[in-house]
């Protein structure tokens, strides 16, 4: 499987919780805490993916101490 396809599928998996949270909020009457939990999980996954990518670039550029 090509790396670009793997990256796209992992990104889709990570972002799917945001879409699920938006759909739940729009279509189904769930408690606000449940919808907020699903949305918070999706945001956390996306932020951690970006941070992990930047961490690798920072380590390659400057090493562990400046990072």
Number of domains in the chain: 1
In a domain, 67, yes or no: no
Give me the domain span that covers residue 53.
7-62
Higher-confidence residue of 67 and 55: namely: 55
Span 51-66, pLDDT tens digits? 887 888 888 888 778 7
pLDDT value at residue 41: 84
1 found inside a domain = no
Show Cβ contacts of residue 19 under 8 Å, excluding neighbours closer than 6 positions: none
Can you give the pTM of this predicted structure? 0.52
**Residue 21: per-residue pLDDT:** 73
Any domain includes 2: no
Residue 65 main-chain phi, psi, to 5 deg: -70, -45
Instruction: Express each pLDDT in 2-35 by its tens digit.
Output: 889 988 898 888 788 778 878 877 888 878 888 7
The answer to whether position 22 is within a domain reads: yes
In a domain, 19, yes or no: yes
């Amino acid at each position: 499987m090509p790396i670009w396809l793997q990256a796209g599928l992992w990104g889709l998996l990570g972002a799917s919780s945001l879409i699920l949270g938006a759909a739940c909020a729009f279509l189904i009457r769930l408690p606000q805490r449940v919808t907020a939990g699903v949305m918070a999980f999706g945001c956390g996954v996306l932020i951690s993916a970006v941070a992990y990518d930047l961490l690798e670039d920072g380590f390659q550029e400057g090493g562990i101490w400046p990072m």
